[in-house]
């Protein structure tokens, strides 16, 4: 595989990171044998014809309409204040109880749980941001 100048530059940055840290954590490679555009964690050595990248930092993006977990319990981020249950969605917003929130706003202010009984019973619910992590 012939590498582009950008790929060579990124490979050099990965080599440098590995030399400075003494490990390969956080570096990924493209599996050209399987022709997969997914990246996998590397475990041993660098190969001169492989494409490497530093593992991207995941970023939170708003839900798409089909990703909204209908029936999930929503609260204000980091607090005990309840907003309600997700009861609907459309192309621009999510309905929590009877109030509609734009996807971007809900990502910024809310978090959700898929286990409302843990909230009611003993407060052990696992709260998750209202969005999807991209860039893994």
Do residues 74 and 45 both lie within one domain?
no
Q: Are residues 90 and 43 in the same domain?
A: no
Domain assignment present for 136: no
Same domain, 25 and 43: yes
The beta strand positions in the chain, using DSSP E, are: 27-31, 36-41, 52-54, 59-61, 73-76, 82-89, 93-96, 99-102, 110-113, 128-129, 132-134
> In a structure prediction context, what are the per-residue pLDDT tens digits for the chain, which is 136 residues long?
678 899 889 889 988 888 888 777 778 887 777 766 566 666 677 777 788 887 777 899 999 999 999 999 998 887 767 778 999 999 999 999 889 999 999 999 999 988 877 766 666 778 899 999 886 5
In terms of Cα–Cα distance, which of 28, 3, 4 is closest to 14? 28
| In a shared domain, residues 115 and 64 | yes
Which residue, chain included where needed, has tokens 């003993």? Answer: 122
- What pLDDT was estimated at residue 93? 96
| Whether residue 52 is found in the same domain as residue 96 | no
- C-alpha dihedral sign at 106, 112, 114, 116: negative
Q: Does one domain contain both 76 and 34?
A: no
Count how many domains the chain has: 2
Q: Are residues 64 and 116 in the same domain?
A: yes
pLDDT at 94: 96
Residues 47 and 75 in one domain: no
- Tell me how far apart the alpha carbons of residues 47 and 15 are, in angstroms, rounded to a whole number: 11
Range of the domain at 51: 5-57
Whether residues 14 and 48 share a domain: the answer is yes
Integer Cα distance of 28 and 53 in angstroms? 5
Tell me the pairing of strands 93-96 and 82-89. Answer: antiparallel
CA 48/CA 16 separation, integer angstroms: 14
């Amino acid at each position: 595989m012939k590498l582009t100048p950008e790929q060579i530059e990124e490979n050099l940055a990965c080599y440098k990171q590995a030399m400075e840290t003494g490990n390969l954590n956080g570096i990924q490679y493209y599996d050209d044998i399987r022709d997969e555009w997914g990246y996998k964690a590397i475990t041993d050595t660098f190969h001169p014809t492989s494409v490497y990248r530093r593992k991207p930092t995941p970023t939170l993006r708003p839900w798409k309409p089909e990703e909204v977990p209908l029936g999930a319990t929503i609260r204000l981020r980091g607090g005990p204040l309840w907003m309600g249950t997700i009861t609907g969605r459309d192309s621009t917003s999510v309905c929590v109880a009877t109030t509609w929130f734009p996807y971007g706003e809900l990502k910024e202010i809310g978090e959700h749980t898929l286990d409302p009984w843990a909230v009611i019973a003993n407060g052990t619910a696992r709260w998750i941001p209202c969005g999807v992590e991209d860039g893994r």
